A and B are shown apart, each in its own frame.
Chain A
Amino acid sequence: MPSAAAERLIGEGLVVLALVAWWAIARGLPEFILPGPLAVARRLAELFVTPDFLWNLFASTWRVLVSIALALLIGGGLAFLAHDVPWLETVVDQRIKPVLNSFPSIGWAILAAIWFEPGDFSVIFVEVAILIPFCLINVAEGLRNADADLMEMGWSFTRSRARMLRRLRLPLLVPYGLSATRIAYGIAWKIALVAELLGAPSGLGYLMLRAQTAADSTTFLATCFAIVLIFMAGERLVIVPIERRFAQR
């Protein structure tokens, strides 16, 4: 289709134009304010073969993954509690959820910096605390939307709660769980990295802060772009395929 090709051409053309504009603006500015795109690209390529950077990248990535898993477990658990134990509904929906949902992320980061030693535990604590409300809201939505007729039919076949959970309730929750994962993944990389600015001796947030205090804008921008690349790679290579797999069923 020619129009699709034209669209694509204009899209890529604008990217090139933006890079050229960046180059033109950066030429007149000192390097610590805005380094040129070539310098940043070179540094980006260098970073990906530096063991120190790769180690920090690995540290951030595994913290993000562990945090998402824990947040899904805790948030999902809270949603199940609110749904299955009527007594606890108010406690979860009107006490725990609003507080976690409105808690400022830097608040967690500072509290963790006061309470814990800098390290993996401190960072994961902050990230999990930031991510829980997103998981809780999505899973609760899934539980509310579970088809009542289907559930009733399920109960007529079995009385076993575990069997019901495995065969019917969890499969019905899969789309909501996936969307929770997707949101948590985005928030984790974009906002929860703040945890690594205050309470971490390693990680990409720590690297960025170090580069910024040293006025090393080239490394700083290269790290920003590295996060963009990793975020997109994770989304394209992991999240989209999983979603497609479950959508086909």
Chain B
Amino acid sequence: MTATDIALGRTALRRGRAARRWVGHLFTLAFLGAWEAASLVAPSYLLPGPAQVALRLWSFITSWRDLGHLGASLFHVGAAIAISFMIGTLLALIPYYVPVLRFAIERRLGPFLNAFSAIGWTLLAIMWFGVTPLTVIFTISAVLVPFALVNMSAGLASIDRELVEMAQSLTRRSARMLVLVIVPSLYPFIFATLRIMFGVAWKVTLTAELFGGNSGLGYMINLARQEFDTETIFAAIILIIAFVHSVDQFVLAPLQASVSRHYAS
């Protein structure tokens, strides 16, 4: 292949990429157009138009009360991720250090937690704790624990045996081992787990807040639903999509990539 061929190939590629981006923007415009057209036909409690929703979105991000609900949801998600990550990791570490408990954790507790439905946890928590933030955090944590358990177990199973053996010849203290060898080799799994948990948490949080919360976006959506305030529902959904997607793309993905680059063998 001559130099010109390569150059030509490159411009074609670049042109293709730019064109694709335009197709993407066109699709967005077409979607908004179709939405606007549909909203002109349908009554506004069924489908508010994009302009109305955008206005509501603006009033949302300028209202302290609405932002407070977003903050409450964030707090629920953050607390639940922290709690369930700790519980799941501890549960995964037990069979690693006490092999005789492997069957109990991996074949009895794990599958049970994994099979218990999120709605079951939600309604159960409402009966136990009433309509409080505790209900919401408990529900999300209960749903997330099996994800943490499965992922961290996979991480522990993938630890290099020879590395551990070498470390053992250098120290006898298992705390030192844990901090210097085991936890660093788990970094890629920790970030992958957190990323999955973040995605799943948002899918469950609103459900938990809607049924058992007295604050948060789910609670807000529930109020809006009772008042047929469809604009608020749309605004909340769009806000969540934007927030979840940008955190995943601009915070978690780069973090995970840099950690994997450092620690992957």
Contact = CB atoms under 8 A, between A and B. Distances in A.
Q: Which DSSP category, helix, strand, loop or mixed, fits chain B's interface?
A: helix
Interface string B198-225: 0100111111001100000010010001
B117 A10 contact: no
Contacts of B23: 87-88, 90-91
A69 interface: no
Contacts of B20: 86-87, 89-90
Contact of A106 (B206, B244, B249): B206
A95 B119 contact: no
Contact of A7 (B45, B100, B119, B206): B100
Contacts, number: 156
Contacts of B107: 11
A112 to B, nearest CB: 12
A191 B117 CA distance: 7
Contact of A3 (B19, B100, B120, B236): B100
A224 B120 contact: yes
A115 B46 contact: yes
Contact of B120 (A90, A107, A227): A227
19 contacts: A4-B103, A86-B20, A87-B19, A91-B27, A94-B24, A101-B199, A102-B240, A104-B205, A104-B206, A104-B237, A114-B45, A114-B46, A115-B46, A186-B114, A189-B115, A194-B119, A212-B127, A224-B124, A228-B116
A38 B45 CA distance: 48
B108 A15 contact: yes
B103 A220 contact: no
Which of the listed residues B103, B107, B206 has the most CB atoms from chain A within 10 Å of its own CB? B103
A153 interface: no
A194 B199 CA distance: 17
A86 B16 CA distance: 9
Interface in A133-187: 186
